[in-house]
């Protein structure tokens, strides 16, 4: 299974989700791959936000090797499931997929895997401090655990 995590700029939520999911894949010995990207291309080629990196390191994971990238139409073909971190990203991914005739059913709201039908977003911590990154970490860790246990 190939999994793609998507947030707005690929510098906060989705890099964290990529690495947390990678750790769950390893922990449970799952046959899966994971990557991340953003809707926008503002940070292409850059490493994740320093606060995201510090949060990951605090929990024993290193995301400093990741490089931000923007979603492509090929991603809709290359990945089995595409997880949006919030409702706006979900809608934007759908708007990209529909006119391009890409498989829209692959797009899922990340936290719906843990809380079906609640449409709970993972809030963007970019404008906040370290406490917001820690809260986002907890949500992402729980969400990835739920995804891993269903695989």
> Whole-angstrom Cα distance, residue 31 to residue 124?
29
* Active-site residue, from 35, 49, 75, 124: 124
Active site residue 50: no
* Active-site residue, from 13, 22, 51, 69: 13
Say if CB 133 and CB 57 are below 8 A apart.
no
Active site residue 49: no
> Whole-angstrom Cα distance, residue 135 to residue 125?
9
> Whole-angstrom Cα distance, residue 8 to residue 74?
18
> 51 Cβ partners below 8 Å, 6+ apart?
12, 125, 129, 130, 133
Distance from first CA to last CA of the chain, Å, rounded?
9
Active site residue 101: no
Say if CB 36 and CB 63 are below 8 A apart.
no
Say if CB 82 and CB 6 are below 8 A apart.
yes
User: Could you list the active site residues?
Assistant: 7, 13, 124
């Amino acid at each position: 299974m190939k999994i793609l995590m998507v947030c707005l700029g690929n510098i906060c939520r989705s890099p964290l989700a990529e690495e947390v999911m990678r750790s769950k894949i390893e922990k449970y010995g799952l046959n899966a791959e994971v990557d991340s990207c953003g809707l926008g291309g503002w940070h292409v080629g850059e490493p994740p936000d320093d606060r995201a990196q510090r949060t990951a390191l605090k929990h024993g994971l290193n995301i400093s090797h990741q490089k931000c990238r923007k979603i492509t139409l090929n991603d809709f073909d290359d990945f089995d499931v595409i997880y949006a971190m919030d409702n706006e990203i979900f809608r934007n991914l759908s708007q990209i997929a529909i006119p391009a005739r890409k498989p829209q059913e692959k797009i899922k709201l990340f936290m719906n895997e843990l809380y079906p039908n609640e449409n709970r977003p993972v809030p963007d911590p970019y404008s906040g401090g370290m406490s917001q990154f820690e809260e986002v970490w907890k949500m992402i860790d729980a969400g990835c655990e739920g995804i891993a246990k269903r695989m």
